[in-house]
């Protein structure tokens, strides 16, 4: 796969691993009456190109909002954008 295409594909990724949730995540009881949709250690699905991408010591991370999480998956292998 050419480098440009690989970069485009990683930018458009739809699966992420939850490393940490912020203290305000899912705190709005009106929007999340049943509590959090995900927790640390979950693999989640989110919309392509969502969130803020940044690198720490060469590793890329993405910061997304709690309402960006579309679902939780047990095994992220095999999921691709349609």
pTM of the model: 0.80
Tokens 């709005």 map to which residue? Answer: 28
Give percent of the chain with pLDDT exceeding 90. 70
Query: What is the chain's mean pLDDT, rounded?
Result: 88
Question: How many CA within 13 A on the CB side of residue 57?
Answer: 0
- Give the chain's domains with CATH numbers: 3-73 (2.30.33)
Which pLDDT score is estimated for 12?
74
Give the model confidence (pLDDT) of 36-71 as tens digits.
999 999 999 998 888 999 999 999 999 999 999 999
């Amino acid at each position: 796969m050419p480098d440009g295409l690989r970069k485009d594909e990683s930018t458009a990724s739809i699966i992420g691993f939850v490393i940490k949730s912020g203290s305000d995540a899912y705190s709005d009881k009106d929007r999340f009456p049943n509590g959090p949709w995900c927790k640390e250690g979950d693999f989640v699905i989110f919309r392509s190109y969502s969130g803020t991408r940044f690198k720490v010591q060469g590793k890329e991370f993405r910061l997304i909002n709690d309402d960006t999480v579309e679902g939780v998956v047990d095994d992220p292998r095999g999921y691709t954008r349609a």
